[in-house]
Chains A and B, each alone.
Chain A
Amino acid sequence: MMNLLRAGAAALAITAAVGAVQAKADTTSVPLVETGSSLLYPLFNLWVPAYTASHPGADITTTSTGSGAGIAQSLKGLVNIGASDAYLSDSMVKAHSNMLSIPLAIASQAINYNLPGITNLKLSGPILAGIYTGKITKWNDPAIAAANPGVTLPDHVIIPIHRLDGSGDTFIFTQYLSDSDASWGSTVKFGTSVSWPAVAGGLGANGNPGMVAAAKANPYSIAYIGVSFADQVAQAGLGQAELLNKAGNYVLPTEATISAAADSFANSTPADERVSMIFAPGAQAYPIVNYEYAIINTHQASGAVAKAVREFLTWAITEGNSMSFLKKVHFMPLPPAVVELSKAQIAKIK
């Protein structure tokens, strides 16, 4: 009897062990590496632990290097997922037809100012273009006064602050200026780094933390800061400008206005999803809203790697798009129609 029991226990143990080995074999860990956008990095760091917890064997390393590095390293096959605030340019896609730009979430940007005593400033693309080209030099300029009836503006020189490092924030800010101001659109244009016109008193700052610090240290300054830094901006006591949108209304970046902008593009986003959502048409749409992208090479090292990338990205745009993750970095979820487009692109990863 004892022997039988012992044999039974041993058999059980063996089955259990075999089962464990099989379970392990099912989820053989394929290490994935993500690098790029410093704006997406905090979100990836929220996603990865949650994903790993629900998907045993998943192994994803995240690094924050900058959107350009995300694109370049994904292109060279050095990483599996390149994170970028900007989609690939036409010439990039022409040169590398196997590269995809897949939206993962929706971000936006605030225009912040350090104006003692003023908390309700309204600004427009042409005004900002004037400030950043040095045509508008003082806060009480007639153009700013016209947009802010009833606000007593100081007779003080404006200090415009821009990013001196390459940045997705520069990309969407200069896109807003290009779309809303013709002269900016034909001279400075847009990009992750642009040739900033020399403005007396203008400053360059390094990274979003540097932007917050510079705006805080310089009264009468103005800066563009990614909405992920909203908490730090509030702590620094900076004001948030209402921006003129395409429909002619002044709007603040709120969940409602950001979603309004994203929704207005949901059905016009092309299949390759490389599109600017800047200066969206909706009546309540906030004008500086963008997709945050995963830049992916369709040819991954092996079928197993491709499968792991597909699974993670699919999770990111479905369960990962829940507000419990996004709220912490002030991002917004993709509209359902865009999720479907992203899924179709993810299916191309082989």
Chain B
Amino acid sequence: MKLRPFRLAVLGLSLLIPAALCAVVLFLVIYSGQAIFFNGLHFLTQISWNLGDMYSDPVTVRGVQVPSGANYGILVFIVGTLASSAIAILIAVPLAMGAAIFLAEVVSPKIRPILSMLVELIAVVPSVVFGLWGIAVLVPLIGHYLAPNGSGYGLLAASIVLALMITPIIASTLLDALLQVPRENRESAFALGATHFEVVTKAMMPMVRTTLIGGIVLALGRALGETMAVLMVSGGGLNILPTSLFSPISTIASFVAGQLDSAQTDSTNMSVRALSEIALVLFFITLGVNACAKLLSTGALRVRKRA
């Protein structure tokens, strides 16, 4: 009886988060409704994006008012988002694993807290700082030594900047997990004559696989939604799919940020609705990626239990 107010309060607070999420989704769906109707499925499959001519009279297409020439296709941005995030994960995971294993196994426990704090510090560096570093250092380096046409802006630059931003997220979750592995497991593996490498790969890594996947999911969430840093180094690809690591790209989040200002001058408001439809797509992509990763990690859990 005494606990009731407490329970109610906790229940209310815990419902607040899903309620906020539902409210955001509901708002996006309602707000972009007209755009979803106007765009149909072409939205996801077309590569040309045009806000239309806002300085001539709006036209009526399928019963909706839109700027003349308006055409919204976001395939380029979906591909840019998935490609840059995937490459960023490919770069970040080995780096993060190396860093975490080094900190857990090689570094003496006395200086480990200092080094692990440094890793965590990188995770809180604002993304605009990474973007500036990208423009000032990374882009000229890529342009000078790697890119065939001399431009360092594009998929590779965006992926590397993203990779650096997410490496500490994966590394610090993995490090925590590695430090939790019971001493008995490590020591019995050593007692069986395993080398240090075998101890890490056979006795420790299988125990932290779930956490590793969890860390990767967190990192992927950040990479998919990163806006500012990508905007600064991606080269802003438009109306063309990337064909190489050096092609300019746009990601969904950075593209919305870049177009929002112009969209606000559209008297029919369709541009803003189309951008909100893009946000909805990003939401579902993130949701899908998270769901996949959840499935993967429970799968991994089951395998481990069976073994």
Contacts and interface: CB of A to CB of B under 8 A. Distances in A.
Interface of A: 65-69, 71-72, 86, 89-92, 94-96, 157, 159, 162, 164-167, 189-198, 200-206, 210, 213-214, 217-221
Given A164-B231, A203-B151, A219-B150, A195 B262 contact: no
Nearest to B246: A201
Nearest to B255: A164
Contacts of B69: 189
A284 to B, nearest CB: 28
Main secondary structure of the interface of B (DSSP, over half): loop
Contacts of B265: 67-68, 71-72, 86, 89, 92, 166, 192
B236 A195 contact: no
Given A67-B265, A195-B48, A217-B140, A204 B260 contact: no
Contacts of A198: 238-240
A195 B240 CA distance: 11
Contact of A67 (B140, B238, B261): B261
Contacts of A90: 55-57
B262 A191 contact: yes
Contacts, number: 136
Contacts of B263: 68, 166, 193
Contact of A189 (B53, B232, B238): B53
B49 interface: yes
A168 to B, nearest CB: 10
A172 to B, nearest CB: 12
Interface in B107-163: 135-136, 139-140, 143, 149-153
Nearest to B140: A217
B36 interface: no
12 contacts: A164-B236, A165-B258, A191-B51, A192-B261, A195-B51, A195-B238, A195-B239, A198-B239, A203-B248, A204-B237, A206-B232, A214-B153
Given A157-B149, A195-B50, A210 B264 contact: no
A30 B164 CA distance: 48
Interface centre among A72, A94, A220 (most CB of B within 10 A): A72
B267 interface: yes
B250 interface: yes
Interface centre among B54, B56, B259, B260 (most CB of A within 10 A): B54
Nearest to B71: A195
Contact of B54 (A91, A94, A206, A214): A91
B235 interface: yes
B58 interface: yes
A92 B267 contact: yes
B272 to A, nearest CB: 9
A69 B264 CA distance: 6
A71 B260 CA distance: 12
Nearest to B235: A203
Contacts of A193: 51, 258-259, 261-263
Nearest to A216: B140
B151 A159 contact: yes
A164 B258 contact: yes
A67 B231 CA distance: 19
A276 to B, nearest CB: 9
Contacts of A65: 261
Nearest to A295: B265
A52 B247 CA distance: 49
Q: Which 5 A-B pairs have the closest CB atoms?
A: A204-B236, A164-B236, A166-B262, A198-B240, A195-B50
